Amino acid sequence: MSRGKVLVVGSNATRIEIQGGGTGPTGQYLNELVVPVMALIEAGYDIVFATPNGSKPFIDPVSDQAVHFGNDEAAHKRAQDFFASHPAMNAVITLRAVIDGGLDQYLAFFTPGGQAPVVDLMQDSELGEILRHFHAHEKPTAYLCHGPMASLAAMPHAREFRAALIAGDNAKAAELARGWQYAGYRMTVYSSSEERPIEDNILHGKLYFHMPEALNIAGAEVDTGPDFAPHVIEDRELITGQNPRSDEPIAKALIAALVRAPVDA
């Protein structure tokens, strides 16, 4: 018997803006999506997978490597097969369909990383509506790596906030962030120092903003741990993990939060 539904929201972005014009490749990280989802299913939860346009996310090739699975080739293959063929990964619906179907049915929320959520999810108005529901009802809400940037969609002027960050107008961004539901929350996110190798070797350019800076401007209390070491922070209903190596710890934390949550949450 199912223990209830968890909403997993992915990104449809495949490119991200870099300074000076142009874009670099991006996507979702395979392990960050699959490892927590597999753990949730094993724990007895049903997964509803949604993206803005209802199509499967693009997996960043950088993440599709055994190194992100402890150099375990078999674990990597299981993850590839799960993403390719498991019904939970293929019955993707739109965010609008999630809203229209009723948000009360979901016990918890999860968004994985890769830089993709920084492009679309952090400024998606439909995601904002979803997140405001989860916040108001204090339902466990988890984000991994770059995923915490999606939480910014809950603010009243998310699109304008992102535009101000790209323009380098941090004062305007801070003003636009007023009313953000997660202001004052402790959280973690992919650090600036972890980002630099991606900028240098993958994007071949600099992002317009780094994740801790953006969340701090919005009002979060950001705490990043050592680079590429597991790091998870829980504050009230919010659960955040810093980087790809936080995939298993955030899954455990989310499942524990679900077990603790009231039945009628």
SS3 state at 264: coil
β-strand 5-9 against 238-241: which pairing, if any? Answer: unpaired
> Which residues are 238's β-sheet partners?
141, 235
Cβ atoms of 227 and 246 within 8 Å: the answer is no
Which tokens in the block code for residue 3?
């223990």
Task: Give me the mean pLDDT over the 147-157 stretch.
Answer: 97
Check: CB of residue 242 under 8 Å from CB of residue 145. yes
- Residue 115 confidence (pLDDT) above 50: yes
Q: What is the mean pLDDT of the chain?
A: 97
If one counts every other C-beta atom within 10 angstroms of the C-beta of residue 243, the result is 25
* Residue 261 confidence (pLDDT): 86
Phi, psi (rounded to 5 degrees) for 108: -160, 170
Which pLDDT score, from 0 to 100, does residue 59 have?
98
- CA gap 177, 161 in Å, rounded: 7
Contact partners, residue 241, CB within 8 Å, separation at least 6: 142, 143, 144, 145, 147, 188, 230, 231, 232, 247, 249, 250, 253
Please name the residues in contact with 61: beta carbons below 8 A apart, sequence gap of 6 or more.
27
pLDDT at 88 over 70: yes
Q: 5-257 belongs to which CATH class?
A: alpha beta
Task: Report the distance separating Cα 174 and Cα 165, nearest Å.
Answer: 9
Is the predicted pLDDT of residue 263 greater than 70, yes or no?
no
* pLDDT score of 177 more than 70: yes
Q: Is the pLDDT of residue 124 over 60?
A: yes
**Average pLDDT of 134-148?**
98
Write down the pLDDT at residue 264: 54
pLDDT tens string 227-236: 999 999 999 9
The model carries a pTM of 0.97
List, for residues 207-241, the tens digit of each pLDDT value.
999 999 999 999 999 999 999 999 999 999 999 99
- Give 2-42 pLDDT, tens digit per residue: 999 999 999 999 999 999 999 999 999 999 999 999 999 99
pLDDT of residue 262: 75
Is 265's pLDDT higher than 90?
no
3-class secondary-structure state, position 232: strand
- pLDDT tops 60 at residue 105: yes
- 8 Å CB contact between 143 and 151: yes
Task: Using a pLDDT cut of 90, give the percent of the chain over it.
Answer: 98
> Mean pLDDT throughout 154-159?
97
Domain boundaries, the chain: 5-257
Does the pLDDT of residue 103 top 50, yes or no?
Answer: yes
CA dihedral 221, 226, 230, 231 (to 10 degrees): -20
CA separation for the pair 89, 211 (Å, rounded) = 27
